[in-house]
Amino acid sequence: MTTPTCRACGTDLKHTLVDLGLSPLANSYVSHDRANTEDPRYPLHARVCDTCFLVQVDDVVPPSEIFSHYAYFSSYSSSWVEHARNYCVTAVKRLELRDQSFVVEVASNDGYLLQHFVEKSVPVLGIEPAANVAQEAEKKGVRSLVAFFGKETAQKVVAEYGYADLTAANNVLAHVPDINDFVSGFASILKDDGVATFEFPHLLNLLAKTQFDTIYHEHFSYLSLYAVEKCFELNGLKVFDVEELPTHGGSLRVWAQKAAGTRSETQNLRDLRAKETKAGIATLACYDGFDTKVRAIRRNLLDFLQKAKTAGKTVAAYGAAAKGNTLLNYCAIDNGLIDFVVDANPHKQNTLLPGSHIPVHAPDKLKAYKPDYVLILPWNLQNEIMKDVSYVKDWGGQFLVAVPEVEVVG
């Protein structure tokens, strides 16, 4: 078998972070008429580059199979929409954006973020590869281009609309197989004094909190500040500021400029570099033992669910999330242990989860069924979910999470 190479720097990848076996695509929800059909499964193997320390999964699935029709709509998370609104307020003030400015978001989804700029009369363009999702953005007044982003798309946008004052890319840097072409697109689309922001889950948190369920085929890369700065250096950008955010279990928002940009580095940036250095992010020792902790979560979750079943308890799950599908498929959990899952997104309701084929219903199903336990799969939205379906406690039901450890939380 050919040794895979790092998608950023080309080094042979010799070190495993965790091998999660064969898994279906995490967002490939199954229609009921395919209930008896076996879902395609692909290797899900995360490796560490010992040169630039980019963590990445093997590139086994073409992006067109993943993202051209997508079931994730950002606006179904109220906390995420509010996060986007706050970003807009900050960016408009910090960069003095106005009606002559131009803001581009890559992976603009259903307009959850750019709608806030539209409300402030700032011209926008969303670039979104999934046509079904982009249609929803257009309904919000968000001008959208259905395309994958890279240097070629950037040049087309510049030719038609001009250069951007600000680009936003939230939780997409991890989703691109050709990360160099993607990043160089931002260097191409920005004005000389333009700013590019990127948000992504911080690898340090994935390691410290054993967030292995955030590993799936749609996430090609798992990012530290160290690896991002190395990649940006290769592709015409440089970071000048960074923020630590609570979203997605702990994320970074980096503020970048063209390589020739004149903005000064902030103390926040210097501090986070020091934090990563202290953790050993650029040493292989930092990644040792992760797979052992992952196996312990699988063992403990299966033990809990099997004991609950034996005791005659019923278990449902909340959130037909990609991370939940990684967890369920790695643990080989099906509807023999979890009866159903509920989700607020109507695009996921009345489907089956990939691999496990657990049925997805609207949240009202909880009231009718009254399960003893509700396993929260998108643990990053734990507080929001426990508030939304607090009525579970009315019949003595309890909430459960599996990451970073199996725990009853209420």
- Whether 74-287 shares its CATH topology with 290-408 is answered yes
- 276-289 per-position pLDDT tens digit: 999 999 999 999 99
Q: What is the pLDDT of residue 75?
A: 54
Q: What is the pLDDT of residue 241?
A: 98
- Across the range 402-408, mean pLDDT stands at 95
Confidence band for 1, pLDDT divided at 50, 70 and 90:
low
Q: In this predicted model, which residue has the larger pLDDT, 397 or 74?
A: 397
Confidence band for 292, pLDDT divided at 50, 70 and 90:
very high
Least confident of 71-85, 111-125, 200-214: 71-85
Is pLDDT at 76 greater than 70 in this prediction?
Answer: no
User: Longest Cα pair distance anywhere in the chain, in angstroms?
Assistant: 65
Is pLDDT at 67 greater than 60 in this prediction?
Answer: no
User: Domain 290-408: which CATH class?
Assistant: alpha beta
Instruction: Say which CATH superfamily domain 74-287 falls into.
Output: Vaccinia Virus protein VP39 (3.40.50.150)
- Across the range 103-115, mean pLDDT stands at 94
- Across the range 353-366, mean pLDDT stands at 97
Secondary structure element (H or E) that encloses residue 240, with its range: strand 237-245
Of 265, 90, 106, the closest CA to residue 190 belongs to: 106
- 222-250 per-position pLDDT tens digit: 999 999 999 999 999 999 999 999 887 89
**How far is residue 234 from each of residues 174, 203, 258, 322, measured CA to CA in Å?**
17, 20, 12, 31
- Across the range 63-90, mean pLDDT stands at 72
Mean pLDDT for the chain overall: 94
HSE (side-chain half, CA atoms, 13 Å) at 81: 12
Contacts of 142 (CB under 8 A, 6+ apart): 108, 111, 114, 115, 118, 124, 126
Asked if residues 239 and 273 have their Cβ atoms less than 8 Å apart, the reply is no
Assign 115 to helix, strand or coil. helix
Is pLDDT at 53 greater than 90 in this prediction?
Answer: yes
Q: What percent of the chain has pLDDT over 70?
A: 96
Length of the chain in residues, anyone? 410
Q: DSSP for 213-236, please give it.
A: GG--TT--EEB-HHHHHHHHHHTT
Q: pTM of the prediction?
A: 0.90
- Across the range 313-318, mean pLDDT stands at 98
- Across the range 172-177, mean pLDDT stands at 92
Say which amino acid occupies 176: V
Residue ranges of the domains in the chain? 74-287, 290-408
Confidence band for 218, pLDDT divided at 50, 70 and 90:
confident
Is pLDDT at 64 greater than 70 in this prediction?
Answer: no
Confidence band for 74, pLDDT divided at 50, 70 and 90:
low
Q: What is the pLDDT of residue 380?
A: 87
Q: DSSP for 128-190, please give it.
A: -S-HHHHHHHHHTT--EE-S--SHHHHHHHHHHH--EEEEEEES-GGG-S-HHHHHHHHHHHE
How far is residue 92's CA from residue 113's CA, in Å, rounded to a whole number? 13
Asked if residues 171 and 248 have their Cβ atoms less than 8 Å apart, the reply is yes
Q: What is the pLDDT of residue 27?
A: 85
Q: What is the pLDDT of residue 102?
A: 98
- Across the range 308-313, mean pLDDT stands at 97
For the chain, how far is it from start to end, CA to CA, in angstroms?
48
Q: Residue 367, Cα to own-chain centre: how many angstroms? A: 30
- Across the range 71-87, mean pLDDT stands at 74
- Across the range 159-184, mean pLDDT stands at 96
Q: What is the pLDDT of residue 69?
A: 52
Q: In angstroms, what is the C-alpha Rg of the chain?
A: 21
Q: What is the pLDDT of residue 125?
A: 97
